[in-house]
Structure 1
Amino acid sequence: MKTFKFKSIWLLSDSEQTARSESFSPKKTLLVGMNHTGKSSLIKSLFTALGAFPAGQLDRWNKDTTVLVEFSVDGVDYYVVQQRNNRGLFDAQGRLNFTSANATDWGRNFAELVGFNLILTDRKLKSVTGDARTFFLPFYINQDGSWLSDWSTFDNLQQYQKPIGPVLEYFTGVKPPEYYDLNSQKLVHQKDLSELRGEEKVIKTIKDRFGRTVPLDGPKTMPEVFEQDIARLTIEINEINSEQEEIRNNIVRERETAESLELQIKMAHQALSQYDSDSSFLQTEPHNVLVCPVCHAEHGKTFMDLLRYSEDARVLRNLAVELKNDHLKISRTLEGSKDRLRSLDDNYRKISNILETRRGDLKLNDVVRAMGAESAFAAFEAELSELEVKINPLVTAIDKLNRRLSELTNRKRSNSILSDFRKYYDIALKSLNMPSVETGKMNLNRRPKISGSGGPRSILAYYAALWHTSLGEYGSFSIPAVIDSPQQQGQDATNLPIMIEYIATKLPSDMQIILAVEEPTKFKFEKVIELNEPYNLLSPDQYDQIRKFIDPFTDAMYRALLG
């Protein structure tokens, strides 16, 4: 599992000659301060520096402030310096890796750095790689929007077409990073295969057209071409012979079926004829007593009811009609089989004649034409053989990738992940003093929509379920959970401590947590940052020291951008 952690942040305002630096615990950090003391400014600067602009305006904040953030990816440290849209990435020794003056370039480089390979669709229906906004989206609860029922965490998410579902599926493991790696390989293979198939089709078309102009059954002067013809024709005649045998067997069975149906139809007609005679006799002659013509027993008139002549005759007529229809069908099938057999016999005789043709007394013109034709056909076959050597491995590779992609997205895996998510959500609701809800139909991207003070608690439970699931069996990334701030929509003195306690004690133990609150708490946080002065997050006391530290980064960035 890849791990991303925030380590430190430096803020520098040259116009105001103020600055500030803070570091974060790899476990739990608490930002404490009343409104306007800079909690949100500090947190939003973290994300802005990395290319994700949080929603919401910062009051009295200098947009020219230089931000330097230290972070780690799988234990490897990096620095990013940001001023306006300009960014530079440095390694732990301060060596410049790359610079960017626009969001697109930075987003691509950032995604590559952290190993974020999610593919999304933009508004123009083009495939694009996710950037820092989608990387941090499920892990940052922004006080300006994230506590509501929609995803308003970062600005300009509308650039993507329905990004929420794919983002959540990516981090929870429904479609993990491996899926996108394999799918990317598959697309490359499919493109190569398509080009080769197109080339193969062109060569076959030219060969077929050339073959209609220069017949294949002409004289052969090149031994290898002659051998190829013999081998090809032998295969064809064996295939025809095999198909002939199969069709002959089918014809025998079909003829037997047709004869059987003819006999049944004849018997049905005879029975119907006998019925008509008996019925006419019974209806035209007066009979008080019926004498059986076989045993000469005498029966009363109810014997006609027992015989049920009318019903028997109706059934017999229906049977005769069905038999006739069946006979017509089998007759058509039989004729089709005979036609196919005649066609195969013609092809068999034609190929046999070619194989038995003597290569004797050839005319000079035949030889000259044959030499050119043979060379051309040999070239066609060589080209097709080379293409086949390239095509076969691609087909095999694509099949293998399809099998692995099916394994990664199979229903059992998806149901297991969704089941975990629902379980964690239900547990979180109970811990946050919320009633249980029906989660049987709850999907990953279905945010709760609860009004009043219960709304933020249900939102926290929802995010917590995502975080637990993302760090579960199928997850691939450990990303800090940043929460600003749970005191929303009038949380009372009972429920606010419950939310803070849950964050401090019930979230995944190996997850980095940064929590912003207004008042201190009794629950343990490894690092506590206290902010006391409204609108004075940055201080003149630290300006000189921090400027000396940041200047080498900004100087290197601008030299690269301007050089």
Structure 2
Amino acid sequence: MNQVIFKRVAILSLSEKKAFAFNFSEGLNFIHGTNDTGKSSLIKSLYFCLGGDLRIDDSWKKQEIITKLTLAYQDEIINFIRKSSYFVVTVHKNGVKKSEKIFSKLSELTSEIQNLFGFNLLLALKKNKETIIANPASYYFPFYIDQDDGWSNVLESFNGLKMYVDWQKNALQYHSGIKPKEYYALNGEQKILALKISELEQEAELIRKTKLRFEKYFENISFDIDVDFYLNKIDYFIKQCEELEQQERAYRLKAMNLYSRRNILSDLIFSIENERADSSSNINEEDDISFSLKKYDINKNKVALFSQKASLYDEKSKVDEQLMTIRSKLLEHAEMSEHIKSMLNNVHDNFSIKEIIDSEAYKSAALAFEEQLSEIREKINALALEKAILDTKIKTFNNVKRTRIINNYFLSMLNRAQVKLHLPITEKGGVINYKALTTGKTGSRSPRAIFAYHYALLMTIQKYSTLPILPIVIDSPKQQDLDDELTEQLIQFCLDDLAEVSQVIIGAVKPEKNMAGYHSINLVKKFSLLQSEAFSEVYQEIVPQFNAMFRHLN
């Protein structure tokens, strides 16, 4: 069976330096204690530690309470530590730490509950209709009956659930399997898509209205244009073109002169290099004296030539640099001239400057409007396609036959409880009819009717839900002067039937006859659930780990 089992609870008061610890059995557990012995505080601390907010006494809050709850689920041991709004969750698997996280808000813990147990019920907030993952109490409520509110108003044991729209109906359908978790996941996605589509449609409508106003009043828009200013600008551009052409002719002439000088220098360098080769080849080596004289003249001439060659190379290099500069200037002037001519050619003979500006502004604005509308239409169409696919998937979960089967099973379990608890048999009713099935009952019938409803709901969850079954925690079944005989019958019902569903933890004012032999603790000291002698051991169990994670958070 897919069950969560509570293993141990440890409670620590930092202000009073007192503590308490208790180990649970996997079956039935009884916590006995008269008023003011801390029985209810102990029982409340269980689901409170898991993020289910309950009505906690102010005196309990002032003691700087830290609670640790150890539970087993599948092959993992999970520790929850809570101090005020802070939570530390540690997961061990096969004796090895798998993860350790700290959360400073209940909303952050919600995602961890979803990851650990697969709980992903989505509910809509009343204030803004935003759909979010429901807080942990919407997972715990079928498994807990609190003595403050749970016995007088069914499903009212936890705080913080009234902020959701129709949370009871949606949560009951979710838990019972009428609308499984896949349905609510898809439904949440559907609502998000519908909201996005609505926002885009509103944006498109605003753009369309703006476009209409623009078209209506554009013709009345006057442009304050100084025509003489633009005419002077045109004259200036024409003069600039003429000056650029003159400068271009001068640069071209200078370039021609430089090219001519460069060619002369190149020829001189070429002649010097060739003369050196010719001189070497024409020497007659037969006449030593003649040879020596010629060689002397050649060498002397070489020195002069080499000196001249170096200066020629230097001059040629300078000419090349000047040519490169002129080429760059010519290119720059050509580009500028083309740009100015293009600007002048854009002025159409049949339009005034104002008309051109009007026309271009209108076309630009109209194009911008159409582009925005087109982009929004594409987004809406894409989202609408996604929504249509989700609609088809959601319809597969709106199974009337399945709903009827589940409700019939629920009613049969309710009738079973009603017989055992000596209540009138209900002939019609379903999971979501919690008010009609539990209100209007007088005296001791009211708590028995509420208990019968919880039992039928738990049996339905066990059969049809895919969620893990949590421990069933009941605080003081003896309510509203329930006599001893009926109390014993109710307890026996827990022993025989409720224990089949899950681990059971029951709080009672005193031990009843049929509680004997079961795992239990008897609280007898007034105002002293926590004891100073347990402080050191529980402190070492909780505080070092919590402080280490708290420092990591900050």
Query: In which range does the TM-score fall when normalised by the shorter chain?
Result: 0.5 to 0.7
How is 1:266-285 mapped onto 2 (pairs within 5 angstroms)? none
Q: For the Cα contact (< 8 Å) 1:183–1:405, is it kept in 2?
A: yes
Note if 1:167 corresponds to 2:171.
yes
Equivalence for 2:470: 479
C-alpha distance in 2, partners of 1:196/1:500? 58
C-alpha distance in 1, partners of 2:551/2:61? 27
Q: For the Cα contact (< 8 Å) 2:176–2:431, is it kept in 1?
A: no
Q: CA deviation at 1:123?
A: 2.5
- Equivalent residue for 1:118, pick from 113, 116, 121: 121
Note if 1:535 corresponds to 2:527.
yes
Q: CA deviation at 1:95?
A: 5.1
Which AA in structure 2 matches 1:49? C
Q: CA deviation at 1:399?
A: 4.8
Q: For the Cα contact (< 8 Å) 1:38–1:531, is it kept in 2?
A: yes
TM value normalised by structure 1? 0.61
SS at match of 2:456: helix
C-alpha distance in 2, partners of 1:200/1:396? 18
Q: CA deviation at 1:474?
A: 4.5
Structure 1 residues 50 and 4: alpha-carbon distance in aligned structure 2, compared to 1, 3 A threshold: same
How is 1:59-98 mapped onto 2 (pairs within 5 angstroms)? 62-92=62-92, 93=97, 96-98=100-102
Q: For the Cα contact (< 8 Å) 1:13–1:66, is it kept in 2?
A: yes
Equivalence for 1:269: none
Q: For the Cα contact (< 8 Å) 1:70–1:79, is it kept in 2?
A: yes
C-alpha distance in 1, partners of 2:98/2:430? 50
Equivalence for 1:178: 182
Q: CA deviation at 1:449?
A: 2.8
Structure 1 residues 546 and 170: alpha-carbon distance in aligned structure 2, compared to 1, 3 A threshold: same
What do residues 418-469 of structure 1 show as CA deviations (whole Å, max 9, x unaligned)? 1111111111010112232343578443233311112211111011011111
Q: For the Cα contact (< 8 Å) 2:472–2:505, is it kept in 1?
A: yes
C-alpha distance in 1, partners of 2:156/2:163? 13
SS at match of 2:481: coil
C-alpha distance in 1, partners of 2:527/2:123? 39
C-alpha distance in 2, partners of 1:498/1:396? 57
Equivalence for 1:339: none
Q: For the Cα contact (< 8 Å) 1:7–1:24, is it kept in 2?
A: yes
SS at match of 1:472: helix
Higher mean alpha-carbon deviation, 28-37 vs 438-447, is at: 438-447
Q: For the Cα contact (< 8 Å) 1:26–1:512, is it kept in 2?
A: yes
- Equivalent residue for 1:143, pick from 147, 152, 170: 147
Which AA in structure 1 matches 2:519? K
Q: For the Cα contact (< 8 Å) 2:122–2:188, is it kept in 1?
A: no
Q: For the Cα contact (< 8 Å) 2:37–2:528, is it kept in 1?
A: yes
C-alpha distance in 2, partners of 1:163/1:4? 24
| Percent of paired sites with the same residue | 28
What do residues 19-52 of structure 1 show as CA deviations (whole Å, max 9, x unaligned)? 1111222332221222222221111111222222
Equivalence for 2:402: 413
Q: CA deviation at 1:396?
A: 7.3
How is 1:75-474 mapped onto 2 (pairs within 5 angstroms)? 75-92=75-92, 93=97, 96-100=100-104, 102-127=105-130, 128-186=132-190, 399-440=388-429, 443-446=432-435, 447-474=438-465
What do residues 114-167 of structure 1 show as CA deviations (whole Å, max 9, x unaligned)? 322111122213333211221211221000011113543122333223311111
Which AA in structure 2 matches 1:172? S
- Equivalent residue for 1:498, pick from 459, 483, 489: 489
Higher mean alpha-carbon deviation, 148-157 vs 531-540, is at: 148-157
Q: CA deviation at 1:193?
A: 8.6
Which AA in structure 2 matches 1:499? L
Equivalence for 1:25: 25
> Mind listing any 5+ residue stretches in structure 2 that lack a counterpart?
206-374
Q: For the Cα contact (< 8 Å) 1:149–1:449, is it kept in 2?
A: no
Superposed CA RMSD in Å reads: 4.2
Structure 1 residues 157 and 63: alpha-carbon distance in aligned structure 2, compared to 1, 3 A threshold: farther
SS at match of 1:519: coil
SS at match of 1:54: coil
C-alpha distance in 2, partners of 1:5/1:407? 34
Which AA in structure 2 matches 1:126? K
Higher mean alpha-carbon deviation, 53-62 vs 537-546, is at: 53-62
Which AA in structure 2 matches 1:460? F
C-alpha distance in 2, partners of 1:81/1:525? 31
What do residues 498-517 of structure 1 show as CA deviations (whole Å, max 9, x unaligned)? 00000111126141211111
Which AA in structure 1 matches 2:126? R
Structure 1 residues 99 and 503: alpha-carbon distance in aligned structure 2, compared to 1, 3 A threshold: same
C-alpha distance in 2, partners of 1:554/1:104? 19
Which AA in structure 2 matches 1:486? P
C-alpha distance in 2, partners of 1:12/1:46? 13
Q: CA deviation at 1:98?
A: 2.8
What do residues 92-111 of structure 1 show as CA deviations (whole Å, max 9, x unaligned)? 338532321x3333334434
Structure 1 residues 193 and 8: alpha-carbon distance in aligned structure 2, compared to 1, 3 A threshold: same
Which AA in structure 2 matches 1:543? F
C-alpha distance in 2, partners of 1:185/1:440? 31
Q: For the Cα contact (< 8 Å) 1:176–1:476, is it kept in 2?
A: no
C-alpha distance in 1, partners of 2:511/2:147? 16
Which AA in structure 2 matches 1:547? Y
Structure 1 residues 150 and 432: alpha-carbon distance in aligned structure 2, compared to 1, 3 A threshold: closer
SS at match of 2:26: coil
Note if 1:511 corresponds to 2:502.
yes
Higher mean alpha-carbon deviation, 53-62 vs 22-31, is at: 53-62
What do residues 362-402 of structure 1 show as CA deviations (whole Å, max 9, x unaligned)? xxxxxxxxxxxxxxxxxxxxxxxx99999999877655543
Q: CA deviation at 1:181?
A: 2.5
Which AA in structure 2 matches 1:81? I
TM value normalised by structure 2? 0.62
Equivalence for 1:545: 537
Q: For the Cα contact (< 8 Å) 1:52–1:154, is it kept in 2?
A: yes
Q: CA deviation at 1:404?
A: 3.2
Higher mean alpha-carbon deviation, 395-404 vs 509-518, is at: 395-404
Q: CA deviation at 1:471?
A: 0.9
